């Protein structure tokens, strides 16, 4: 019951849950969420299509799930930890971080993924939240409470990365890209009632932009 009350005050997390579920239901009744053609039609990342100018797939793929277990796992995680990060960063910045992490995760899949692979899922954005935890640990080392919060995620992150590496069919590239984005974005957006050095923010913004451009260039070259 407490979780539902917290979720009720976390408007962005609630909205993200609703959007992901609605998209999954629509896909289920219009061809299936595991049908490749339907996944492509709804906006999954396909290397050749992105290279041909369909950049919007880097955004839409984060709201598409492949099969019921996929969406159940991701939405459970979002339900559990989304409100925590939304309270830490505020609804607006939390949404920006979530979306940017998803885009960078999908960019990494575009850059280094197999051209024959179709990738999708909110995991890119959710790993961005893992990355935020690492970023909090790095950027707020003098704050014992926040450092402890960041440290509490390290074992969870390690377990999930190992699971992603050993289980076939999981888009580990997108996960790592989202994780990287979260670490960087923790240096761009300060936690509510905390501050970041301007130099840290400038370096982080630059890193995010430069890496994004680099991934685009690599993806375009490898898609030929």
**59 touches 99 (CB < 8 A):** yes
Query: Residue length, the chain?
Result: 224
Cα gap 128→29, rounded to integer Å: 30
Radius of gyration of the chain (CA): 17
Q: Which residue has the tokens 């959007």?
A: 19
The 10s digit of each residue's pLDDT in 77-116 is 999 999 999 999 999 999 999 999 999 999 999 999 988 8
* pLDDT grade for 3, boundaries at 50, 70 and 90: low
118 strand-pairing partners: 46
pTM of the model: 0.92
Phi, psi dihedrals of residue 37, rounded to the nearest 5°: -60, -35
Q: Where are the beta strands (DSSP E) in the chain?
A: 45-46, 118-119
- Show the tokens assigned to 184: 């960087």
As a whole number of angstroms, the longest Cα–Cα distance in the chain is: 52
* Enzyme catalytic residues: 123, 175
């Amino acid at each position: 019951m407490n979780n539902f009350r917290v979720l009720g005050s976390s408007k962005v997390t609630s909205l993200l849950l609703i959007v992901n579920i609605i998209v999954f239901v629509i896909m289920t009744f219009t061809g299936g969420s595991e049908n490749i053609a339907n996944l492509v039609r709804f906006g999954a990342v396909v290397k050749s299509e992105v290279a041909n100018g369909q950049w919007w797939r880097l955004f839409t793929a984060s709201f598409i799930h492949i099969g019921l277990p996929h969406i159940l796992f991701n939405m459970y995680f979002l339900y559990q930890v989304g409100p925590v990060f939304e309270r830490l960063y505020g609804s607006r910045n939390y949404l920006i971080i979530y979306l940017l992490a998803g885009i960078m995760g999908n960019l990494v899949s575009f850059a280094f993924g197999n051209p024959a692979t179709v990738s999708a899922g909110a995991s890119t954005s959710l790993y961005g939240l893992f990355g935020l935890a690492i970023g909090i640990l790095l950027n707020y080392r003098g704050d014992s409470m926040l450092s402890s919060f960041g440290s509490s995620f390290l074992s969870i992150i390690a377990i999930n990365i190992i699971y992603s590496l050993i289980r076939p069919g999981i888009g580990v590239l997108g996960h790592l890209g989202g994780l990287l984005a979260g670490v960087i974005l923790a240096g761009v957006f300060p936690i509510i009632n905390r501050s970041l050095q301007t130099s840290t923010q400038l370096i982080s913004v630059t890193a995010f932009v430069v890496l994004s451009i680099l991934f685009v260039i690599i993806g375009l070259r490898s898609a030929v």
